[in-house]
Amino acid sequence: MSAESFEGVSRDALEAMSVEQRDALPFGVVGFGPDTTVQIYNATEARMSGLDPFTVMGVPFFDAVAQCMNNFMVAQRFEDEPDIDAIIPYVLTLRMRPTKVRLRLLAADGATCRFILIER
């Protein structure tokens, strides 16, 4: 399992990567702060969602972009659990089409940036 794979990459490694390195990953990467505002939105995710990263940065992720995850299955877990590393099957609405994906939720107690990785 590679240190840069969907399943293998660590939260710390994602945070330490350059923008270019994250853009080159084959899966979507969204990083957001404790207030859910988007800090990182990689090129892969932008291609899948059809959104320009510049318009997504700084907006509250679960309210403005990913309402489909604003429920107890995803958003609530980041509220309740300081440490998460979980992979869950999910259905997103990328470009308004129901799309089966796998999500990896990553949060660490003490680290301000949380991640959601999206694999189509």
Partner 1 sequence: MNDKSSEEQLLEFLYACPVGLIECDAAGDIALMNPHAMQHLLPLAGARDASNLFAAMEQHAPELRSIAAAHTAPTGRVCDGHRIFVDLGPGRRAQAPKVLACTVVKLAPDRLMVTLSDISQQVVQEERLRQADTWFATLLDDVDEYAALAIGADSRITSANACFTRQTGYESVSAIGRNLADVLEGDQSGGDLRVEEQVKIAERDGWHLQEGWQQRSNGERYWCQRLVVARFDYDAPSPSGFSIILRDVPRRQEAVDDMRRLLTCDHLTGASNRRHFSQVMEREQGQWRELRQSLSLVVLDLDYFKAINDTHGHPVGDAVLCRVAEACAALLPPRCIFARLGGEEFGALLPRYDQIQALGLAEEMRAAIADLEIQVPTGPLRVTASLGCATFDEVGGSIDALITLADERLYAAKRAGRNQVCHSSARAA
Give least dist CB 113 to partner 1, A. 22
- Radius of gyration of the chain measured on its C-alpha atoms: 13
Dist. CA 104–CA 117, nearest whole Å: 5
Candidates 44, 27, 42, 4; CA nearest to 101 is 27
Q: Per rule CB under 8 A, is residue 57 in the interface with partner 1?
A: no
Cβ-based nearer residue to partner 1, 13 or 73: 73
Tell me how far, at minimum, the Cβ of 97 lies from partner 1, in Å. Answer: 6
Taking CB under 8 A as the criterion, the residue among 9, 38, 40, 92 binding partner 1 is 92
Cβ–Cβ < 8 Å for 56, 79? no
Q: Under the criterion CB under 8 A, does residue 81 sit at the interface with partner 1?
A: no
9-28 positions binding partner 1, by CB under 8 A:
none
